[in-house]
Amino acid sequence: MRRLNRKKTLSLVKELDAFPKVPESYVETSASGGTVSLIAFTTMALLTIMEFSVYQDTWMKYEYEVDKDFSSKLRINIDITVAMKCQYIGADVLDLAETMVASADGLVYEPVMFDLSPQQKEWQRMLQLIQSRLQEEHSLQDVLFKSAIKSPIPLPSREDDLSQPPDACRIHGHLYVNKVAGNFHITVGKAIPHPRGHAHLAALVNHDSYNFSHRIDHLSFGELVPGIINPLDGTEKIAIDYNQMFQYFITVVPTKLHTYKISADTHQFSVTERERVINHAAGSHGFSGIFMKYDLSSLMVTVTEEHMPFWQFFVRLCGIIGGIFSTTGMLHGIGKFIVEIICCRFRLGSYKPVNSVSFADGHTDNHLPLLENSTH
């Protein structure tokens, strides 16, 4: 009884078979079918390799949301060289929320030479080349994110001997400010506290000493994160007048970076530059110096490195194989049908009518002559 039920179950399962097998004795092969099969297998192999390379690759996904963190401090990382002696200039930040000078104790004033050594010039040229390529190809930033290249690339030390006294001042370090709009500036004279804001002792410096030619080796906001090259890194400005103002209008965007190598909270920024000569007689008012006015965006960007899941890769691979099999089968059938039609027309055109036989009385005979067997 059990064997009978088992046989019925097997027969039922066989009737549900959606892939019936054809005996090999009923299968007819052809040269055209073999050629199409070879092309199909080659195409499937190439597309499979390409699909596997896509599966191995990753891409960056950008998401935007409102930044709700306004209570934490914002870190400013600075490395700027000004073509003036350190005792003549001062750097500080004016916090617009509290109208006060933020503490700049984290900055170091180091006397240096403004002109770079050959090795340092090569470093600067490389950094400027990277900046120009990033402006042309924005997708390169995704490559930097994924590679997590160590940045900022520090300025190499001078390899030549300093025979001349330092003529410039390198201001480098970091400081913390509130997450509100502010103004970081480097101008003549040291900063002193003031009830209504702040002031600089510019009256003690001779105008002939003014020279705000500067080089920005690094400027960033937030924690230092590998894979980010900031827009002002490698910038160099040469003053054409002793009484000149350089302005940088910066928009800071909070950024969360999540890749397979790093995960960090940092900030990116965009910048607009402007420079002008101070001439009160011509209506160009202001103060000589370098002014970086920054403001924070209310949106936060989350950058996440994503990878194609295996199930999606498997589905795409099955689609490639099944699609090529179906398409090549249809194309082969259509081609075979067209060839058969053309060949049939040629065959019909090869049968020509037999020449008619004329008689003396003017009648014609179109019948085929009978074949007679002659015996000898």
Task: Render pLDDT for 252-278 as a digit per residue (tens, 0 to 9).
Answer: 999 888 888 888 888 889 899 999 888
Region of poorest pLDDT, from 107-121, 146-160, 170-184, 296-310: 146-160
Region of poorest pLDDT, from 36-50, 133-147, 183-197: 133-147
Greater confidence, 370 or 344? 344
Provide mean pLDDT across the span 10-34: 66
Residue 101: is its pLDDT beyond 70?
A: no
Provide mean pLDDT across the span 100-123: 79
Q: Residue 220, Cβ neighbours under 10 Å: how many?
A: 26
Highest-pLDDT range among 134-138, 194-198, 330-334: 330-334
Which among 250, 251, 252, 246 is positioned nearest to 291, based on CA atoms?
Answer: 246
Contacts of 332 (CB under 8 A, 6+ apart): 32, 33, 36
Contacts of 263 (CB under 8 A, 6+ apart): 257
CB 156 within 8 A of CB 120: yes
- Helix, strand and coil content of the chain, in percent to the nearest 5, comes to 35, 35, 35
Quote the distance between the C-alpha of residue 264 and its chain's center.
19
Quote the distance between the C-alpha of residue 323 and its chain's center.
32
Provide mean pLDDT across the span 324-336: 82
At 349 the pLDDT is 59
Residue 203: is its pLDDT beyond 80?
A: no
- Rounded distance between C-alpha atoms, residue 79 and residue 247, angstroms: 17
Q: Does the pTM exceed 0.85?
A: no
